[in-house]
DNA sequence: GCCGTTTTCGGCCCGACTGTTTTCAGTCG
């Protein structure tokens, strides 16, 4: 079983216990443990099978260690099964409705015996819910709108899809004369792969004017709540946005507070307590005396830390590293010099080799690799050996036509379900750059997935593993991979690992990219562009790399072409 | 349920907003 699957069991357990009214700190323990499992690369299944002690892991004590062993050995957890029989799945789903929490969900379940979303809708429409103590007409309306929201969309959006809206709103508010500073905060500022809602922070002395401006913005569909300092709206895209307006001397404290993550902030505030300080969204203070708050740097300094980049604020060791003065100097978009994964009209791209080369050059890239699909990808008109060799001859021609950019003859070669490569070695040997990828059979058992990846890594002509897990965020889980084994082999054989920058892939994720860096494996960040506009995705790959704590020196295509060539396996390029 | 050189028991971050409450519980971030 994969770590994320086990983490989901703990999350479900926490949800069920929460509806039953369990101690909130017990719930937090389960959720912390789930986070802990998601942020480690070693497989829990492997650790259990090797008989290793699990209580060393953060957030895992004696009880949870035993539960993990049970899950690995039997594939299930008796406590969870029992809870599932007590609380129907439909009741847990009700938690996804904004405004409905565990207490009210439990009340709906116990007093009206509602066990499905359909029954909830019927009860709301029939007026039964508004008769419950603590419920009323507004709450009923909120439930109906929430059900609608769940029906039409998932609850999370790609960061990249939300970027234009956020930038537009920040720009509009920033243009108001009464606004001093304005910025996006929250998970958007931390550059998470997906965002559940958006946060914007502004400083002004005229709160009402700022809120009015947001309410009147063309992207805003509805104002959901409005108070003295906070306004919540829903955008036409369906996502909700929180606006906070604070005084200018609170800007840093508020930015720190609303950027999160929650887990990071809990530790920061605990550090404050230890120093006799308190931190809230307005300031750092001691006995009601203002200590800091104008800038984030001041807030961190007050708790004895340097500024921590938002991308790292997940309480995954960044606070300890900051304390030791070991924070990385994170990669910047401007560091990127090459792009090593892209398609042309030869397969499923929309631009020619020359158009891609010109577009890349116009963006300041110094080298690219043209990497169309291999034949297994019939849907994309994948290339067999003959067509590929002809394609490379075309690339040669473009090399002589376009100056100022190096163009590598590459291939995105499928690793077939039977653990062989889609093209023979003598063809791969002629390439400058070979990306090996899994496209099909992602649901195969772990042993077979490992065998396939090992085949590719041990092939002397493979340069890099592309989008290693094969996941599509929010739509398809990745293959079940023993990353510890794969990364070790990749290092031993000098094979690089890709962060695919496409907004729906971002694969490697930040946890495994960090693990690859720790092992000394060069990372490649590539756009997988299928058009000249596809190069715009590079920024999202860089965000992912920053969240992994990567520096320019960790990224092969953040080097000059000469430096990059030195990192290739001997005899290539 | 986890955690600990000040603690193995008693802590576990902090505040805004809404609705339905006659003073606050629930939810959210």
pLDDT tens-digit series, residues A261-301: 988 998 999 899 888 898 989 999 988 888 889 999 999 99
**Do A117 and A94 form a contact (C-beta atoms < 8 A)?**
yes
**Do A215 and A174 form a contact (C-beta atoms < 8 A)?**
no
Any idea where the domains of chain A sit in the sequence? 3-152, 157-246, 250-323, 333-567
Q: Which nucleotide is nearest to A262 (CA to C1')?
A: B29
Q: Which nucleotides of B are covered by protein (CB under 7 A)?
A: 1-3, 11-21, 25-29
CATH of domain A157-246: 3.30.460.10
Strand order in the sheet with A338-339: A338-339, A367-370, A406-414, A433-437, A464-465, A496-500, A523-526
Q: List, run by run, the mean pLDDT of 10-residue segments along chain A (573 residues).
A: 85 90 88 86 88 89 92 91 89 86 90 90 89 88 83 77 92 95 96 93 94 92 90 87 94 94 90 89 88 93 94 92 94 98 93 96 96 91 94 95 96 94 95 95 90 95 95 83 94 96 94 95 96 94 97 97 83 43
Q: Which nucleotide is nearest to A258 (CA to C1')?
A: B29
Q: In CATH, which of 3.90.1150.10, 3.20.20.140, 3.40.1410.10, 3.10.620.30 is domain A333-567?
A: 3.20.20.140
Q: What is the pLDDT of residue A572?
A: 46
A357: which residues sit within 8 A by CB, 6+ positions away?
Answer: A368, A398, A402, A405, A407
CA of A224 to C1' of B17 (A): 11
Q: What is the pTM of this model?
A: 0.85
A215: which residues sit within 8 A by CB, 6+ positions away?
Answer: A223, A226, A231, A233
Q: Rounded to 5 degrees, what are φ and ψ at A385? A: -60, -45
> How many beta carbons lie within 10 A of that of residue A505, not counting itself?
25
Q: What is the pLDDT of residue A22?
A: 87
* Domain topology for A3-152: DNA polymerase; domain 1 (1.10.150)
Q: What is the pLDDT of residue A154?
A: 60
Comparing A3-152 with A333-567, is the CATH topology the same? no
Q: What is the pLDDT of residue A152?
A: 65
CA of A358 to C1' of B29 (A): 45
Q: What is the pLDDT of residue A473?
A: 86
- Superfamily for domain range A250-323: DNA polymerase, thumb domain (3.30.210.10)
């Amino acid at each position: 079983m994969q770590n994320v699957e086990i983490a989901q069991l703990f999350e479900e357990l926490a949800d069920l216990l929460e509806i039953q009214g369990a101690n909130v700190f017990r719930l937090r323990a389960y959720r912390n443990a789930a986070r802990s499992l998601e942020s480690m690369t070693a497989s829990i299944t492997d650790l259990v099978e090797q008989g290793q002690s699990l209580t060393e892991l953060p957030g895992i004590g004696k009880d949870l260690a035993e539960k993990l062993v049970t899950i690995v050995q039997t594939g299930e957890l008796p406590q969870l099964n029992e809870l599932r029989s007590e609380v129907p799945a439909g009741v847990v789903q009700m938690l996804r409705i904004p405004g409905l929490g565990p207490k009210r969900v439990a009340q709906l379940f116990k007093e009206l015996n509602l066990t499905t979303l359909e029954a909830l809708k019927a009860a709301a429409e029939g007026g039964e819910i508004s008769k419950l103590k603590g419920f009323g007409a507004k709450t009923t309306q909120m439930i109906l709108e929430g059900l609608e929201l769940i029906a039409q969309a998932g609850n999370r959006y790609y960061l990249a899809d939300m970027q234009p809206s956020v930038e537009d709103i920040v720009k509009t508010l920033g243009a108001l004369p009464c606004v001093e500073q304005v910025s996006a905060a929250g998970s958007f500022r931390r550059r998470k792969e997906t965002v559940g809602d958006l946060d914007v922070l502004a400083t002004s002395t005229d709160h009402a004017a700022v809120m009015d401006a947001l309410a009147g913005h063309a992207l805003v569909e509805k104002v959901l709540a409005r108070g003295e300092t906070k306004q919540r709206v829903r955008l036409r895209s369906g996502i909700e946005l929180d606006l906070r307006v604070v005084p200018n001397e609170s800007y840093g404290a508020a930015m720190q507070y609303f950027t999160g993550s929650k887990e990071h902030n809990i530790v920061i505030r605990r550090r404050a307590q230890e120093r006799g300080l308190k931190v809230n969204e307005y300031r750092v203070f001691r006995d009601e005396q203002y200590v800091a708050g104008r800038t984030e740097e001041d807030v961190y300094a007050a708790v004895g830390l340097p500024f921590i980049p938002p991308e790292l604020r997940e309480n995954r060791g960044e606070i300890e590293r900051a304390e030791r003065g070991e924070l990385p100097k994170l990669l910047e978009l401007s560091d990127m010099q090459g792009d090593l994964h892209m398609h042309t009209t030869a397969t499923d791209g929309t631009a020619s080799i020359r158009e891609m080369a010109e577009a890349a050059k116009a963006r300041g890239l110094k080298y690219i690799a043209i990497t169309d699909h291999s034949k297994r990808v019939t849907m994309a008109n994948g290339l067999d050996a003959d067509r590929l060799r002809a394609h490379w001859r075309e690339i040669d021609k473009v090399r002589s036509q376009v100056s100022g950019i190096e163009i590598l003859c590459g291939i995105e070669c499928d690793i077939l379900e039977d653990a062989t490569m889609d093209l023979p070695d003598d063809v791969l040997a002629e390439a400058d750059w070979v990306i090996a990828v899994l496209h099909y059979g992602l649901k195969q058992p772990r042993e077979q997935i490992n065998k396939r990846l090992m085949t590719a890594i041990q092939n002397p002509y493979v340069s890099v593993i592309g989008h290693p897990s094969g996941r599509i965020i929010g739509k398809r889980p990745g293959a079940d991979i023993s990353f510890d084994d794969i990364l070790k082999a990749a290092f031993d054989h000098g094979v690089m690992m890709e962060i695919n920058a496409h907004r729906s892939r971002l694969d490697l994720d930040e946890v495994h990219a960090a693990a690859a860096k720790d092992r000394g494996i060069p990372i490649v960040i590539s756009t997988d562009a299928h058009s000249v506009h596809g190069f715009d995705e590079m920024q999202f790959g860089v965000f992912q790399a920053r969240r992994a704590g990567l520096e320019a020196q960790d990224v092969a295509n953040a080097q000059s072409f000469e430096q990059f060539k030195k990192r290739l396996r001997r005899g290539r390029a």
